Amino acid sequence: MDNDHFPGWHGTTIIGVRKGGRVVIAGDGQVSLGQTVIKGTARKVRRLAVEGADVIAGFAGSTADAFALLERLEKKLEATPGQLSRACVELAKDWRTDKYLQKLEAMLIVSDGDALFVITGAGDVLEPEHDVTAIGSGGNYALAAGRALMDTDMDAEAIARRAMQIASDICVYTNGNLTVETVGG
């Protein structure tokens, strides 16, 4: 993300884990401005309000921008029922080509229980190679921890929670106050 537009704002950590027929998306609750924690209980993971679809999403970046993107994703899902990948690609195309959307500073992780995607403002719709993905300032820490835990007996939720705990121990812009949503299985 380009922090020139939002100097002093720092991210969050969101992780998505697919294992055993379930997908879990977990996110911390910290909102920081510079070196100050503004809020510790933000909800950055939620279920989308799409009739007939069970889709969860987590976001990193500007909250207002993420909500604008989630709203557009909901509309894309309504237009293409049951086709999460198509809705994500359509959103990414719009995000890349629309002058208003190009200014949005956020990233999304979304899942319907089968597919797991990261959507970026660069027009990317990425499916993780190892069934774990993460975004935000602590994303690389959570990703490394999650990948290391995939070969254990832990289920998707336990992996997500442990990886987030590790990320919150390392990243000063990530706390241990988690919101966790599960879909599938």
Catalytic residue ranges:
12
Cβ 147 vs Cβ 132: under 8 Å: yes
Instruction: State pLDDT tens for residues 131-149.
Output: 999 999 999 999 999 999 9
Q: Which domains does the chain have, with CATH numbers?
A: 9-172 (3.60.20.10)
- pTM listed for this prediction: 0.91
Instruction: State pLDDT tens for residues 101-114.
Output: 667 778 899 999 99
